[in-house]
Amino acid sequence: MSEETSQPSPAAITPVGEVSTWLSENGFDNESLEKDHLGVEIVKVEADFLLPICAALYAYGFNYLQCQGGIDLGPGQQLVSFYHLLKVTDNVDKPVEVRLKVFLPRDNPLVPSVFWIWKAADWQERETYDMYGIIYQGHPNLKRILMPEDWVGWPLRKDYISPEFYELQDAY
């Protein structure tokens, strides 16, 4: 047995990013994922720890929620709620960026709302709820924003079957 086969290959090791390291040093459980194609750090967090981690990141300087959205990993697989955060300061040419990802079970996708930390999450969480069915607990007005309120299902889920037609009643 050679020593090469017992050691993981360098490509298999994901380097831990600056934000993930800071979170770990301050007692927040997280997992550093591979950076995206633009080199932005991605941190996986559990739904139960999302609010304390987001509050800590806000205090650490991530004062801008650029984007919040959802991803469906495929029929029978998990849903993902993601958050793209920026640390915007006056003396930095390029803001520091990080993405948080919360992996959720398809049958009961519950995650706390970050509306109380970043008000920009308001309509973004509503849109993700409307399209993927991810429930943002504590959101002040979580209801459909794009689809009619009586619409059945979550149109951007990969296992969604479009209805033959939708009858709009009492429109006028």
Instruction: Answer whether residue 51 is part of any domain.
Output: yes
Q: What angle do CA 150, 130, 154 make, to 5 degrees?
A: 80
Span 110-158, pLDDT tens digits: 999 999 999 999 999 999 999 999 999 999 999 999 999 888 999 999 9
Per the model's pLDDT, the better-predicted residue between 56 and 1 turns out to be 56
Instruction: Answer whether residue 155 is part of any domain.
Output: no
- Residue entry with tokens 């009492």: 170
Residue 170, pLDDT > 60, answer no
- The 3 state secondary structure assigned to 12-27 is HCCCCCHHHHHHHHCC
Instruction: Answer whether residue 163 is part of any domain.
Output: no
Per the model's pLDDT, the better-predicted residue between 13 and 123 turns out to be 123
What is the value of pTM for the model shown?
A: 0.85
* Closest CA relative to residue 112, chosen from 36, 74, 55, 151: 55
Number of domains in the chain: 1
Residue 53 banded pLDDT, cuts 50, 70, 90: very high
Lowest model confidence (mean pLDDT) among 8-22, 26-40, 83-97: 8-22
Instruction: Answer whether residue 55 is part of any domain.
Output: yes
Residue 171, pLDDT > 80, answer no
98/35 Cα distance (integer angstroms): 9
Do 134 and 111 touch, CB atoms closer than 8 A? yes
Residue 5, pLDDT > 60, answer no
Q: Which two tokens stand for residue 152?
A: 């059945």
Instruction: Answer whether residue 154 is part of any domain.
Output: no
Instruction: Answer whether residue 110 is part of any domain.
Output: yes
Instruction: Answer whether residue 7 is part of any domain.
Output: no
Do 45 and 68 touch, CB atoms closer than 8 A? no
Instruction: Answer whether residue 39 is part of any domain.
Output: yes
Query: What CATH number is given to the structural domain containing 55?
Result: 3.30.460.80
Residue 8 banded pLDDT, cuts 50, 70, 90: low
Query: Which pLDDT does position 7 carry in this prediction?
Result: 57
Q: What domain range includes position 56?
A: 12-137
Span 68-115, pLDDT tens digits: 999 999 999 999 999 999 998 877 778 899 999 999 999 999 999 999
Residue 34 banded pLDDT, cuts 50, 70, 90: very high
